Chains A and B, each alone.
Chain A
């Protein structure tokens, strides 16, 4: 596979387009600690891109840079062919980047339905006055977005818990609701931070299936962090490997699997 090509065809025959997001020479420091150092990679339209690496490699930091929680000291971020100015996370969400969190960040007191409805926030345009009057534009918009949310709920097979406050749901279902909230935004780029952490085998299989289906049915570009190597190698098109804040590998699962640096990082290597 040629990294500079405009498009490539995956093993299962999908054509992957031009880069949606390009990270160029990103360096992120917290005080004296360098979390990410001079890392470049791209995420292409329609692909499932995995970011892997041992603990403390800088994976979550990278996701937080993409989504605007962290601002890198050096480097450029290009989104849809334009260099991105430093932005607040909510502005980045408005640009069409949705995410889930490693430790589930749902609105615990709100129902599944309401949680997923918040995912529609950036698509709802009526102002406060219209909403206060309710009848007319606000009601129409609410119903329209409700339909999209119901579609997401059907897709994720969570009809039974529509009205349940998410705080009462078991962990696996909460993860699914969080995915639903991100999906409801119909994002151009979907970031998943350890979507399968803490799940049992069955739940992992379900989640893998949902991720593949999302990518397949809606053509959503997905970037994910995951620790389960089996899952990563199964579902992702390309993998970027980080270790101690540096990039040590980038390519298809097969290429990465056979990369000596990656093997060393995971298995440990004697330094002499």
Chain B
């Protein structure tokens, strides 16, 4: 086997894992879109906010420190304690659930029966508000997120596979990416199980399908919305942790939402497995394209190739790979 063969495999493996990272973000979109038909523009910012909150709690930052100091002339910054990672994650999850409750209370409740475009606008407003609020609460500096996951290339794998071909120095796979993949797989499997075999899961699917019928069997729409936004908050937290650990918690993190868009176009807006498979196809596609064609056209193809791929899919399957087929009976 020539070395390029192994390098191609390495590119594919890395593409798959990058794709899973995109999927983590796409998953949050799918959850909310499926249950309420709302395209939640704020999903990326939710991931950022979750990550900011996690770091803030973990490192014992004083929330709204800047605001407090300005008003009272004090110099608070840190509480001076460190919160164990697991506790901090649970607390951050609590904040995301509280956030979901507030979104329902203050926004969604008042927009019942409005057009999807109105709700979409509301989520745009929400996104920018949250970005500012996150800044106000935790400060705008780039933060390092360490949740104890191993980082950097896996040396064992590299050593074990080196020399499989002449000029091949072993597979280089990032530990964090591998962890992210494992976590995403577990997350999706549990979400699927939850949605298929529990009372609340069925209620979520029921509301997604027919509001009136759901009401008639005793399901409260508002409770379901809080649950859905909480789940999306949870997924955002996971995505925030993974992306934050990879590239630091900074405000550009909210832009990962843009990477989720082609994934959604490809996988369909209503399918959880679609988000995963879509992410993987996008990940592999853009990495392979960059690897094989990139060098001839000056590289940096990863910024746009995903969208070309997604557009191609749109032409042939407008509902996405796994989306519900759009059939209009005449």
Chain A residues near B (Cβ < 8 Å): 67, 69, 88-91, 93-94, 98-99, 101, 105-110, 114, 117-122, 124, 126, 128, 131-132, 134, 138, 141-142, 181, 185
Q: Nearest chain-B residue to A105 (Cβ)?
A: B213
Inter-subunit contact B217/A122 (CB<8 Å): yes
Query: Does B110 belong to the interface (CB within 8 Å)?
Result: no
Task: Please tell me if the beta carbons of B220 and A108 are within 8 angstroms of each other in the complex.
Answer: no
Asked whether any CB of chain A lies closer than 8 Å to the CB of B198, the reply is: yes
- The distance from the CB of B219 to the nearest CB of chain A, in whole angstroms, is 6
Q: What is the CA–CA distance of A99 and B212 in the complex, to the nearest angstrom?
A: 11
Chain A to chain B contacts (Cβ below 8 Å), 12 pairs: A88-B215, A93-B215, A107-B205, A107-B206, A107-B213, A114-B202, A121-B218, A128-B200, A132-B198, A142-B199, A185-B217, A185-B218
* Identity of the chain A residue whose Cβ is nearest the Cβ of B199 in the assembled complex: A124
Sorting the interface of chain B by its residue count into under 10, 10 to 19, 20 to 34 or 35 or more gives 20 to 34
State the Cβ distance, B216 to closest chain A Cβ, in Å: 5
Q: Which residues of the other chain, A, contact B219 by a CB distance below 8 angstroms?
A: 90, 118, 121
Binary A-proximity of B214-242 (CB < 8 A = 1, otherwise 0) = 11111111000001000000000000000
B141 to chain A, nearest CB (A): 35
Contacts of A126 in B (CB 8 A): 199
Checking A105, A109, A124, A132 against B216 with a beta-carbon cut-off of 8 angstroms, the contacting residue is A105
Find A109's partner among B209, B218, B227 (CB 8 Å cutoff).
B209
Q: Would you call B129 an interface residue if the criterion is a C-beta within 8 Å of the partner chain's C-beta atoms?
A: no
Contacts of A91 in B (CB 8 A): 218
Tell me how far the C-beta of A96 lies from the nearest C-beta in chain B, rounded to whole angstroms.
10
Contact A90 B209 (CB under 8 A): no
- In order of increasing CB-CB distance, the 7 nearest A-B pairs are A93-B218, A105-B213, A107-B209, A122-B218, A131-B198, A89-B215, A124-B199
> Which of A108, A118, A119, A141 has its CB near the most chain B CB atoms (within 10 A)?
A118
Q: Is the CB of B218 within 8 A of A128?
A: no
> Interface of B with A (CB < 8 Å)?
190, 193-194, 197-203, 205-206, 208-210, 212-221, 227, 324
With contacts A128-B227, A134-B198 taken as known, whether A67 is within 8 angstroms of B216 at the C-beta atoms is yes
Inter-subunit contact B200/A109 (CB<8 Å): no
Max chain B Cβ within 10 angstroms of own Cβ: one of A106, A107, A120: A107
Question: Which residues from B are CB-within-8-Å of A117?
Answer: 202
* Other-chain contact of B218, A69, A94, A107, A134 (Cβ < 8 Å): A94
Contact of A142 among B198, B208, B210, B215 (CB under 8 A): B198
Complex CA distance for A107 and B205, rounded to whole angstroms = 8
B75 vs chain A, min Cβ distance (A): 41
**CB-based contact A93/B198 at 8 Å:** no
Please give, as numbers and ranges, the residues of chain A lying within 8 Å of B218 by CB-CB distance. Answer: 90-91, 93-94, 121-122, 185
Residue on A nearest B223 in the bound complex, by CB = A90
Complex Cα–Cα for A185 and B218 (A): 9
Alpha-carbon distance A173/B194, docked complex (angstroms) = 28
Q: Is the CB of B202 within 8 A of A118?
A: yes
Contact A107 B210 (CB under 8 A): yes
Distance A67 CA – B201 CA, assembled complex (angstroms):
24
Give the residue of A93, A108, A121, A185 whose beta carbon is less than 8 angstroms from that of B203. A121
The reply to whether B194 and A109 form a contact with Cβ atoms under 8 Å apart is no
| Contact residues in A for B220 (Cβ distance below 8 Å) | 88, 90
Residues of A within 8 A of B193 (CB): 134
Contacts A108-B209, A109-B208, A132-B198 supplied; 11 other A-B pairs, CB < 8 Å: A69-B215, A89-B212, A93-B216, A106-B210, A107-B206, A107-B214, A108-B210, A109-B205, A120-B199, A132-B194, A142-B197
Bound Cα distance from A127 to B210, whole angstroms: 23
Contact indicator A93/B217 (Cβ below 8 Å): yes
* Distance in angstroms between the alpha carbons of A126 and B202 in the assembled complex: 14
Residue of B nearest to A122 (CB): B218
Instruction: Tell me, in angstroms, the Cα distance from A138 to B193 when the chains sit together.
Output: 13
> Taking A110-B205, A119-B217 as contacts, is the C-beta distance between A105 and B212 under 8 angstroms?
yes
B215-A90 in contact (CB<8A): yes
Contact call A98/B216, Cβ cutoff below 8 A: yes
Look across to chain A and name the residue whose beta carbon is closest to the beta carbon of B207: A107
Q: How many angstroms between the C-alpha atoms of A90 and B200 in the bound complex?
A: 15
A16 → B minimal CB distance (Å): 26
Contacts of A114 on B, CB cut-off 8 Å? 202, 205
Cross-interface CB contact of A118 among B212, B217, B221, B324, cutoff 8 Å: B217
Interface core residue of B194, B210, B213, B219 (most chain A CB under 10 Å): B213
Whether the pair B194, A131 counts as a contact (CB closer than 8 A) is: yes
A90-B215 Cα distance, complex, nearest whole Å? 5
B199 x A131 contact (CB < 8 A): yes
